[in-house]
Amino acid sequence: MSISLTELKQAAMEFAREGGDSTLNYFNESFELEIKDDDSPVTNADREAESIIRKKIRKHFPGHGIIGEEFGKENEDSDVVWILDPIDGTKSFIHGVPFYTTLIGVLVKNKPEIGVIYAPALNEIVSAAKDLGCYHNGEKTSVRTCSNLSDATFLSTDVTSFEEHGFQTALMELLQSTRIHRTWGDAYGHMLVATGRADIMIDAILHIWDAAALLPIITEAGGAFSDVNGHATIESGNAISTNKTLKDKIVHIFENQQ
Protein backbone atom coordinates (compact mmCIF):
# COMPACT_ATOMS: atom_id res chain seq x y z
CA MET A 1 0.00 0.00 0.00
CA SER A 2 1.39 3.37 -1.07
CA ILE A 3 1.15 5.98 1.70
CA SER A 4 1.48 9.68 0.93
CA LEU A 5 2.21 11.72 4.05
CA THR A 6 1.35 14.90 2.17
CA GLU A 7 -2.07 13.53 1.25
CA LEU A 8 -2.72 12.26 4.76
CA LYS A 9 -1.69 15.57 6.32
CA GLN A 10 -3.99 17.55 4.05
CA ALA A 11 -6.85 15.21 4.87
CA ALA A 12 -6.11 15.43 8.60
CA MET A 13 -6.25 19.22 8.43
CA GLU A 14 -9.55 19.13 6.55
CA PHE A 15 -11.08 16.61 8.96
CA ALA A 16 -9.85 18.53 12.03
CA ARG A 17 -11.43 21.72 10.71
CA GLU A 18 -14.76 20.05 9.97
CA GLY A 19 -14.92 18.30 13.32
CA GLY A 20 -13.56 21.26 15.24
CA ASP A 21 -15.85 23.78 13.59
CA SER A 22 -18.87 21.74 14.66
CA THR A 23 -17.97 22.51 18.27
CA LEU A 24 -18.53 26.21 17.62
CA ASN A 25 -22.27 25.48 17.46
CA TYR A 26 -22.03 24.73 21.20
CA PHE A 27 -19.17 26.92 22.41
CA ASN A 28 -20.59 29.61 24.70
CA GLU A 29 -24.00 28.18 23.81
CA SER A 30 -26.14 25.35 25.16
CA PHE A 31 -24.59 21.88 25.39
CA GLU A 32 -25.12 18.61 27.26
CA LEU A 33 -22.54 17.83 29.94
CA GLU A 34 -21.75 14.44 31.48
CA ILE A 35 -19.05 13.24 33.86
CA LYS A 36 -17.34 10.04 32.74
CA ASP A 37 -16.22 7.19 35.00
CA ASP A 38 -12.72 8.69 35.24
CA ASP A 39 -14.25 11.96 36.54
CA SER A 40 -13.47 13.84 33.31
CA PRO A 41 -16.16 15.89 31.56
CA VAL A 42 -17.61 15.11 28.16
CA THR A 43 -20.21 16.96 26.10
CA ASN A 44 -22.38 16.25 23.10
CA ALA A 45 -20.01 18.58 21.22
CA ASP A 46 -17.12 16.13 21.83
CA ARG A 47 -19.15 13.21 20.53
CA GLU A 48 -20.53 15.03 17.50
CA ALA A 49 -17.07 16.23 16.46
CA GLU A 50 -15.55 12.75 16.74
CA SER A 51 -18.46 11.25 14.79
CA ILE A 52 -17.91 13.75 11.98
CA ILE A 53 -14.20 12.96 11.76
CA ARG A 54 -14.76 9.19 11.89
CA LYS A 55 -17.24 9.38 9.01
CA LYS A 56 -14.75 11.36 6.92
CA ILE A 57 -11.99 8.83 7.57
CA ARG A 58 -14.22 5.86 6.72
CA LYS A 59 -15.34 7.54 3.49
CA HIS A 60 -11.94 8.65 2.21
CA PHE A 61 -9.68 5.97 3.72
CA PRO A 62 -11.67 2.74 4.14
CA GLY A 63 -9.56 0.14 5.89
CA HIS A 64 -7.60 2.63 7.98
CA GLY A 65 -7.80 2.18 11.72
CA ILE A 66 -9.24 4.68 14.19
CA ILE A 67 -8.66 5.22 17.91
CA GLY A 68 -10.76 7.96 19.46
CA GLU A 69 -11.29 9.21 22.98
CA GLU A 70 -15.08 8.99 22.82
CA PHE A 71 -15.83 5.96 20.63
CA GLY A 72 -12.87 3.64 21.09
CA LYS A 73 -11.01 1.50 18.57
CA GLU A 74 -11.73 0.09 15.15
CA ASN A 75 -9.36 -1.78 12.83
CA GLU A 76 -6.45 -0.70 15.03
CA ASP A 77 -4.10 -3.28 13.42
CA SER A 78 -4.11 -1.35 10.13
CA ASP A 79 -0.84 0.08 8.77
CA VAL A 80 -2.43 3.53 9.13
CA VAL A 81 -4.29 4.45 12.32
CA TRP A 82 -5.94 7.81 13.01
CA ILE A 83 -5.84 8.97 16.65
CA LEU A 84 -8.61 11.42 17.56
CA ASP A 85 -9.31 13.78 20.42
CA PRO A 86 -12.33 15.82 19.31
CA ILE A 87 -12.05 18.35 22.14
CA ASP A 88 -8.78 18.46 24.03
CA GLY A 89 -9.38 20.84 26.89
CA THR A 90 -13.04 20.11 27.56
CA LYS A 91 -12.80 22.00 30.85
CA SER A 92 -11.79 25.11 28.92
CA PHE A 93 -14.59 24.49 26.42
CA ILE A 94 -17.33 24.21 29.03
CA HIS A 95 -16.15 27.42 30.74
CA GLY A 96 -16.14 29.42 27.51
CA VAL A 97 -12.34 29.65 27.34
CA PRO A 98 -11.12 29.46 23.72
CA PHE A 99 -7.93 27.47 24.42
CA TYR A 100 -9.48 24.09 23.55
CA THR A 101 -8.39 22.17 20.45
CA THR A 102 -9.23 19.32 18.12
CA LEU A 103 -6.38 16.83 17.75
CA ILE A 104 -5.62 14.36 14.99
CA GLY A 105 -2.52 12.19 14.97
CA VAL A 106 -1.78 9.58 12.33
CA LEU A 107 0.31 6.49 13.03
CA VAL A 108 1.99 4.84 10.05
CA LYS A 109 3.13 1.32 10.91
CA ASN A 110 2.83 2.24 14.61
CA LYS A 111 4.95 5.40 14.33
CA PRO A 112 3.42 8.87 14.89
CA GLU A 113 4.17 10.63 11.60
CA ILE A 114 1.43 13.26 11.21
CA GLY A 115 -0.06 15.70 13.68
CA VAL A 116 -2.70 18.42 13.58
CA ILE A 117 -3.75 20.78 16.38
CA TYR A 118 -6.75 22.96 15.51
CA ALA A 119 -8.11 25.64 17.84
CA PRO A 120 -11.57 26.37 16.37
CA ALA A 121 -12.45 29.35 18.56
CA LEU A 122 -9.13 31.02 17.69
CA ASN A 123 -8.93 29.84 14.06
CA GLU A 124 -5.37 28.57 14.57
CA ILE A 125 -4.10 25.35 13.04
CA VAL A 126 -0.69 23.73 13.36
CA SER A 127 0.19 20.76 11.18
CA ALA A 128 3.23 18.58 10.60
CA ALA A 129 4.32 15.43 8.82
CA LYS A 130 7.57 13.54 9.18
CA ASP A 131 10.40 15.27 7.28
CA LEU A 132 7.98 17.86 5.84
CA GLY A 133 8.22 20.58 8.50
CA CYS A 134 5.73 22.21 10.84
CA TYR A 135 3.27 24.91 9.76
CA HIS A 136 1.12 27.41 11.65
CA ASN A 137 -1.79 28.78 9.61
CA GLY A 138 0.15 27.91 6.45
CA GLU A 139 3.46 29.48 7.48
CA LYS A 140 6.47 27.42 8.48
CA THR A 141 7.12 27.65 12.20
CA SER A 142 9.67 26.50 14.77
CA VAL A 143 10.36 26.40 18.46
CA ARG A 144 11.99 29.42 20.08
CA THR A 145 15.71 29.63 20.80
CA CYS A 146 16.13 29.65 24.58
CA SER A 147 19.21 28.25 26.29
CA ASN A 148 18.54 29.01 29.95
CA LEU A 149 15.68 27.97 32.20
CA SER A 150 15.88 31.40 33.79
CA ASP A 151 14.74 32.92 30.49
CA ALA A 152 12.04 30.34 29.77
CA THR A 153 8.26 30.56 29.76
CA PHE A 154 6.93 27.36 31.37
CA LEU A 155 3.39 26.14 30.76
CA SER A 156 1.32 23.36 32.30
CA THR A 157 -2.31 22.34 32.20
CA ASP A 158 -2.59 22.56 35.99
CA VAL A 159 -0.42 22.13 39.07
CA THR A 160 -2.44 19.56 41.04
CA SER A 161 -1.70 16.76 38.56
CA PHE A 162 2.04 17.06 39.30
CA GLU A 163 1.46 16.25 42.95
CA GLU A 164 -0.98 13.45 42.12
CA HIS A 165 1.64 11.71 40.00
CA GLY A 166 4.65 12.26 42.22
CA PHE A 167 6.18 15.21 40.39
CA GLN A 168 5.65 17.92 43.01
CA THR A 169 9.38 18.37 43.74
CA ALA A 170 10.18 18.76 40.05
CA LEU A 171 7.33 21.23 39.65
CA MET A 172 8.60 23.41 42.48
CA GLU A 173 12.12 23.46 41.03
CA LEU A 174 10.79 24.38 37.59
CA LEU A 175 8.66 27.16 39.05
CA GLN A 176 11.71 28.56 40.82
CA SER A 177 14.04 28.09 37.82
CA THR A 178 11.94 29.55 35.01
CA ARG A 179 11.10 33.15 34.21
CA ILE A 180 7.32 32.82 34.12
CA HIS A 181 4.69 30.11 34.56
CA ARG A 182 1.18 30.06 33.09
CA THR A 183 -1.50 27.39 32.82
CA TRP A 184 -2.18 27.87 29.13
CA GLY A 185 -2.42 24.14 29.00
CA ASP A 186 -3.70 21.05 27.27
CA ALA A 187 -2.66 20.79 23.61
CA TYR A 188 -2.82 24.57 23.20
CA GLY A 189 0.27 24.82 25.42
CA HIS A 190 2.14 22.45 23.12
CA MET A 191 0.97 24.55 20.16
CA LEU A 192 2.49 27.62 21.83
CA VAL A 193 5.84 25.83 22.12
CA ALA A 194 5.73 24.65 18.49
CA THR A 195 5.07 28.20 17.30
CA GLY A 196 7.77 29.84 19.41
CA ARG A 197 5.46 31.61 21.86
CA ALA A 198 6.51 29.57 24.90
CA ASP A 199 9.52 27.42 25.74
CA ILE A 200 8.30 24.54 27.90
CA MET A 201 4.99 22.70 28.15
CA ILE A 202 4.66 19.77 30.54
CA ASP A 203 1.70 17.45 30.99
CA ALA A 204 1.91 15.27 34.09
CA ILE A 205 -0.76 13.01 32.61
CA LEU A 206 -2.04 12.44 29.09
CA HIS A 207 -3.44 9.63 26.95
CA ILE A 208 -2.44 8.43 23.49
CA TRP A 209 -5.17 10.56 21.88
CA ASP A 210 -3.64 13.59 23.62
CA ALA A 211 -0.08 12.77 22.59
CA ALA A 212 -0.20 11.27 19.09
CA ALA A 213 -0.46 14.62 17.30
CA LEU A 214 2.11 16.32 19.50
CA LEU A 215 5.25 14.29 18.82
CA PRO A 216 5.43 14.96 15.04
CA ILE A 217 4.47 18.61 15.52
CA ILE A 218 7.11 19.41 18.13
CA THR A 219 9.77 17.33 16.36
CA GLU A 220 9.13 18.92 12.95
CA ALA A 221 9.21 22.36 14.62
CA GLY A 222 12.80 21.58 15.59
CA GLY A 223 11.97 20.81 19.20
CA ALA A 224 12.06 17.83 21.52
CA PHE A 225 9.01 15.83 22.63
CA SER A 226 9.56 13.22 25.31
CA ASP A 227 8.30 11.79 28.55
CA VAL A 228 9.82 12.93 31.83
CA ASN A 229 12.52 10.27 31.44
CA GLY A 230 13.62 11.70 28.12
CA HIS A 231 12.12 9.05 25.85
CA ALA A 232 10.42 10.16 22.63
CA THR A 233 7.14 8.28 23.06
CA ILE A 234 3.39 8.86 23.03
CA GLU A 235 2.64 6.01 25.43
CA SER A 236 4.26 6.92 28.76
CA GLY A 237 1.33 8.92 30.13
CA ASN A 238 3.23 12.21 30.52
CA ALA A 239 5.01 14.60 28.19
CA ILE A 240 7.47 17.46 27.81
CA SER A 241 7.52 19.75 24.79
CA THR A 242 10.48 22.11 24.58
CA ASN A 243 13.57 22.91 22.51
CA LYS A 244 16.52 20.54 22.29
CA THR A 245 18.74 22.69 24.53
CA LEU A 246 16.31 22.79 27.45
CA LYS A 247 15.18 19.17 27.22
CA ASP A 248 18.15 17.64 29.05
CA LYS A 249 17.96 20.25 31.81
CA ILE A 250 14.28 19.51 32.40
CA VAL A 251 14.77 15.73 32.33
CA HIS A 252 17.61 16.15 34.83
CA ILE A 253 15.22 17.94 37.21
CA PHE A 254 12.78 15.03 37.02
CA GLU A 255 15.57 12.49 37.50
CA ASN A 256 16.76 14.23 40.66
CA GLN A 257 13.32 14.28 42.27
CA GLN A 258 12.83 10.51 41.98
Q: What is the pLDDT of residues 128-137, one digit of tens each?
A: 999 999 999 9
Which range has the worst mean pLDDT, 30-39, 122-131, 184-193? 30-39
Average pLDDT over residues 59-84: 96
**Domain topology for 149-257:** D-Maltodextrin-Binding Protein; domain 2 (3.40.190)
The amino acid sitting at 253 is I
Strand partners, 108: 80, 111
Average pLDDT of the chain to the nearest whole number: 95
pTM of the model: 0.95
pLDDT in tens, 163-187: 999 999 999 999 999 999 999 999 9
Delimiting residues of CATH 3.30.540.10 domain(s) in the chain: 5-140
Residue 153 near residue 180 (C-beta atoms within 8 A): yes
Would you say residue 75 has pLDDT above 80?
yes
* pLDDT for the residue numbered 119: 98
CA dist., res. 100 & res. 23, Å (int): 10
pLDDT above 70 covers a percentage of the chain that reads: 99
Backbone angles phi, psi at 149, to 5 degrees: -60, -35
Residue 58 near residue 14 (C-beta atoms within 8 A): no
* pLDDT for the residue numbered 1: 55
pLDDT in tens, 215-256: 999 999 999 999 999 999 999 999 999 999 999 999 999 998
* pLDDT for the residue numbered 34: 85
Coil, helix or strand for 105? strand
CATH for the stretch 5-140: 3.30.540.10
* pLDDT for the residue numbered 256: 86
> Residue 108's pLDDT band (boundaries 50, 70, 90)?
very high
CA dist., res. 214 & res. 207, Å (int): 11
Spatial CA neighbour of 228 closest among 207, 205, 194: 205
Complete DSSP assignment for 119-156: ETTTTEEEEEETTS-EEETTEE--PPP---GGG-EEEE
> Residue 258's pLDDT band (boundaries 50, 70, 90)?
low
Would you say residue 18 has pLDDT above 60?
yes
CA dist., res. 89 & res. 107, Å (int): 22
> Residue 57's pLDDT band (boundaries 50, 70, 90)?
very high
Would you say residue 6 has pLDDT above 90?
yes
